[in-house]
């Protein structure tokens, strides 16, 4: 027979109030958030992390303080901090203190971000943050959407809607067989890899449009449509408002105007660069963004939210809802037809259960105010201009294009891929910076991405000095 007493004791133990554990974890968080500059730390060797983790999963469990000490002293040192002001690779991260801390509030709340029924106040607060973004883009009052895990999930969800809308229209016009036509999405050669993934997942083809200087324009799209044998199968165009590799903003007005005329879904991927909407010095470059049928921006990039958070907005959310709403007997309770206000975030992307991951952004926005966001974004743009000047002035360096936002591409004359790697390895070894090279027009080149307001020109100079 089971010892029911013992059993129920161990069943309840891990849900019981535990002040010591609470203080242990909050202490760790407090130490991390109090360090003047988040350390970069290092990549980890598999043998090292395997040795640390070996045998940790046991039947009876281990003391939390022991495990936490191992995490803080060892495991966490093999994690590169994307929020270090010396992180210049990929796209860095720089969550505000308010956003990081409120993320813990979200975690402690177990709030199910699916529906109005379950999380009205949280959903409304998330929507307030979404409204700030859609207003900056000039989208209409009825626009709306949802926070999803990242730009990839946002691009996928938006383009599923684009495909289904186009397919419905083709079927209405040409009959049922039109369901089987190959559909295409027009892109530039700089489109993000997640769009290529999306095309594969939703089984559409990409039409890569020739561009001058890698910037997609309305003119280039018009030429491609004119040349195409089956233009009616081009159902969407993806413009990027800040390419990840080089920071290029496509000709949104030209593309959007043409897309409108031709009934082509206009999607704008602003995962990285969308934040520039809030920076007056570059805002004119986004002219035409208000024409978007769908628009995404990652707050976990340049809007200073913690991972993982992407904002997905639709000009007409009802269309997205008609594509993404999941129907099941047990979910009927979420939907009511009595005309009362209802906004179920789950209806606007391919997911069901969701973390209310827009709340850290919302809290930080409300606490810090919008001007702080503008200033912080502008500081990254200003730093980028200064770094570009340093590179222009150095005889052994070449700036590959005038930076638009906060990405710098440069060449160290005479360097091969191995030289860039060696330079980067040295910088990481003594924690000066984390940098990775990229390819541009077939060549390995140097690349910086900035967005952390605590990054100084001197930190960048320290890295450039070592290219001499
Ligand atoms: C980062 C990025 C993505 C992908 O976003 P994730 O949040 O990493 O999924 C998509 N498009 C662009 C332009 C990006 O910069």
- For position 8, what pLDDT does the model report? 66
Domain span(s) for CATH 3.90.1150.10 in the chain: 371-465
d(CA 357, CA 311) in angstroms, rounded, equals: 10
**Ligand 1 centroid distance, CA of 301 (Å):** 9
Confirm if 278 and 252 have CB atoms less than 8 A apart.
no
Task: Please provide the CATH number assigned to the domain covering 371-465.
Answer: 3.90.1150.10
Reported confidence tier of residue 334, pLDDT bands at 50, 70, 90: confident
d(CA 118, CA 353) in angstroms, rounded, equals: 11
In Å, how far from its chain's centre is CA 310? 5
Query: What does the buried/exposed string (b/e) look like for 395-411 if buried means 16 or more CB atoms within 10 Å of the residue's CB?
Result: eebebbbebbbbbbbbb
Across 173-200, average pLDDT? 96
Angle subtended at Cα 430 by Cα 426 and Cα 431, rounded to the nearest 5 degrees: 105
**Ligand 1 centroid distance, CA of 15 (Å):** 37
Domain span(s) for CATH 3.40.640.10 in the chain: 104-368
**Ligand 1 centroid distance, CA of 460 (Å):** 24
**Ligand 1 centroid distance, CA of 154 (Å):** 9
Which residues lie below 8 Å from residue 199, measured CB to CB, with a gap of 6+?
A: 159, 185, 205, 206
Q: What are phi and psi of 234, to 5 degrees?
A: -90, 100
pLDDT tens digits, 443-455: 999 999 999 999 9
Torsion of CA 350, 355, 358, 363, to 10 degrees: 170
**Mean predicted lDDT score pLDDT of the chain:** 96
Residue nearest to atom 3 of ligand 1 (CA): 151
- For position 205, what pLDDT does the model report? 98
Pick 184 or 11 by higher pLDDT: 184
Interhelix angle 193-202/151-174, rounded to 10 degrees, is 40
**Ligand 1 centroid distance, CA of 348 (Å):** 19
pLDDT for residue 6 is more than 70:
no
**Ligand 1 centroid distance, CA of 425 (Å):** 25
Which residues lie below 8 Å from residue 293, measured CB to CB, with a gap of 6+?
A: 162, 259, 265, 266, 267, 314, 315, 316
* Cis amide leading into 308 (omega within 30): yes
- For position 340, what pLDDT does the model report? 63
- For position 335, what pLDDT does the model report? 82
Across 130-141, average pLDDT? 98
Confirm if 441 and 368 have CB atoms less than 8 A apart.
no
d(CA 287, CA 138) in angstroms, rounded, equals: 10
Question: What's the Cα-to-Cα distance from 168 to each of 154, 158, 319, 421, rounded to whole Å?
Answer: 21, 16, 12, 50
Which residue of 92, 188, 250, 269 sits with most ligand 1 atoms within 8 Å of its CB, as the best mutation to test the pocket? 269
**Ligand 1 centroid distance, CA of 39 (Å):** 24
d(CA 104, CA 373) in angstroms, rounded, equals: 21
pLDDT tens digits, 67-102: 999 999 999 999 999 999 999 999 999 999 999 999
The DSSP H or E segment spanning 239 is strand 234-240
**Ligand 1 centroid distance, CA of 175 (Å):** 37
Is the CB–ligand 1 distance for residue 150 below 6 Å? yes
Across 131-159, average pLDDT? 98
Confirm if 94 and 451 have CB atoms less than 8 A apart.
yes
What is the number of the ligand 1 atom nearest to the C-alpha of 192?
A: 11
Is the CB–ligand 1 distance for residue 192 below 6 Å? yes
What is the number of the ligand 1 atom nearest to the C-alpha of 298?
A: 7
Across 99-127, average pLDDT? 96
- 3 state DSSP class of 314: strand
Is the CB–ligand 1 distance for residue 151 below 6 Å? yes
Is the CB–ligand 1 distance for residue 147 below 6 Å? no
Confirm if 298 and 95 have CB atoms less than 8 A apart.
no
d(CA 404, CA 284) in angstroms, rounded, equals: 12
**Ligand 1 centroid distance, CA of 89 (Å):** 14
What is the number of the ligand 1 atom nearest to the C-alpha of 150?
A: 7
Across 226-241, average pLDDT? 97
- For position 337, what pLDDT does the model report? 63
Which residue of 148, 151, 250 sits with most ligand 1 atoms within 8 Å of its CB, as the best mutation to test the pocket? 151
Is the CB–ligand 1 distance for residue 310 below 6 Å? yes
What is the number of the ligand 1 atom nearest to the C-alpha of 153?
A: 9
pLDDT for residue 370 is more than 80:
yes
**Ligand 1 centroid distance, CA of 191 (Å):** 10
Is the CB–ligand 1 distance for residue 240 below 6 Å? yes
d(CA 2, CA 233) in angstroms, rounded, equals: 65
Reported confidence tier of residue 333, pLDDT bands at 50, 70, 90: confident
pLDDT tens digits, 394-404: 999 999 999 99
**Ligand 1 centroid distance, CA of 307 (Å):** 12
d(CA 82, CA 91) in angstroms, rounded, equals: 8
Reported confidence tier of residue 4, pLDDT bands at 50, 70, 90: low
Q: Which of 7-16, 110-119, 256-265, 435-444 has the lowest mean pLDDT?
A: 7-16
Q: Give the pTM.
A: 0.97
Could you list the beta-strand ranges (E) of 113-193: 144-148, 184-187
Reported confidence tier of residue 342, pLDDT bands at 50, 70, 90: confident
Q: Which of 12-16, 424-428, 441-445 has the lowest mean pLDDT?
A: 12-16
d(CA 269, CA 289) in angstroms, rounded, equals: 10
Return the CATH class of domain 104-368.
alpha beta
pLDDT tens digits, 380-396: 999 999 999 999 999 99
Which residues lie below 8 Å from residue 29, measured CB to CB, with a gap of 6+?
A: 101, 104
What is the number of the ligand 1 atom nearest to the C-alpha of 243?
A: 13
pLDDT tens digits, 296-325: 999 999 999 999 999 999 999 999 999 999
What is the number of the ligand 1 atom nearest to the C-alpha of 151?
A: 5
Across 405-414, average pLDDT? 98
């Amino acid at each position: 027979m089971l010892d029911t007493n013992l059993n129920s004791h161990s069943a309840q133990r891990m849900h019981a109030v535990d002040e010591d554990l609470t203080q242990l974890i909050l202490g760790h968080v407090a130490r991390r958030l109090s360090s003047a500059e988040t350390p970069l730390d290092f990549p980890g060797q598999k043998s090292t992390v395997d040795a640390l983790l070996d045998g940790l999963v046991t039947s009876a469990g281990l003391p939390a303080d022991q495990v936490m000490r191992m995490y803080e002293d060892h495991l966490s040192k093999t994690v590169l901090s994307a929020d270090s002001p010396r992180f210049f690779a990929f796209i860095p991260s720089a969550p505000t203190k308010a956003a990081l801390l409120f993320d813990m509030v979200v975690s402690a709340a177990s709030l199910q971000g699916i529906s109005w029924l379950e999380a009205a106040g949280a959903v409304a607060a998330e929507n307030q943050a979404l409204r700030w973004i859609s207003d900056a883009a000039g989208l209409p009052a009825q626009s709306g959407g949802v926070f999803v895990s990242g730009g990839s999930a946002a691009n996928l969800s938006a383009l599923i809607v684009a495909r289904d809308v186009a397919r419905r229209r083709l079927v209405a016009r040409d009959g049922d067989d039109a369901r089987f036509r190959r559909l295409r999405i027009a892109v530039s050669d700089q489109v993000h890899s997640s769009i290529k993934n999306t095309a594969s997942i939703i089984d559409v083809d990409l039409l890569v449009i020739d561009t001058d200087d890698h910037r997609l324009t309305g003119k280039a799209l018009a030429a491609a449509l004119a040349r195409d044998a089956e233009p009616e199968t081009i159902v969407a165009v993806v413009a990027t408002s800040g390419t990840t590799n080089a920071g290029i903003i496509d000709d949104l007005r030209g593309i959007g105007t043409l897309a409108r005329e031709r009934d082509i879904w206009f999607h704008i991927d602003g995962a990285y660069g969308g934040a520039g909407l809030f920076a007056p010095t570059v805002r004119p470059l986004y002219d035409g963004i208000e024409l978007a049928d769908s628009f995404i921006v990652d707050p976990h990039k340049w809007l200073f939210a913690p991972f993982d958070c992407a904002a997905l907005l639709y000009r007409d959310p009802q269309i997205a809802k008609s594509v993404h709403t999941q129907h099941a007997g047990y979910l009927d309770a979420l939907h009511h037809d009595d005309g009362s206000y209802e906004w179920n975030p789950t209806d606007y992307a391919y997911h069901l259960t969701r973390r209310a991951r827009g709340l850290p952004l919302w809290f930080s926005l409300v606490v810090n105010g919008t001007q702080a966001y503008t200033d912080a974004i502008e500081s990254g743009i200003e730093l980028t201009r200064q770094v570009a000047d340093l590179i222009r002035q150095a005889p052994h360096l070449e700036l590959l294009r005038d930076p638009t936002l906060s990405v710098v591409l440069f060449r160290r004359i005479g360097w091969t891929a191995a030289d860039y790697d060696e330079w980067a390895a040295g910088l990481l070894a003594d924690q000066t910076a984390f940098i990775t090279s990229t390819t541009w027009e077939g060549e390995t080149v140097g690349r910086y991405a900035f967005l952390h307001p605590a990054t100084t020109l001197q930190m960048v100079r320290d890295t450039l000095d070592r290219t001499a």
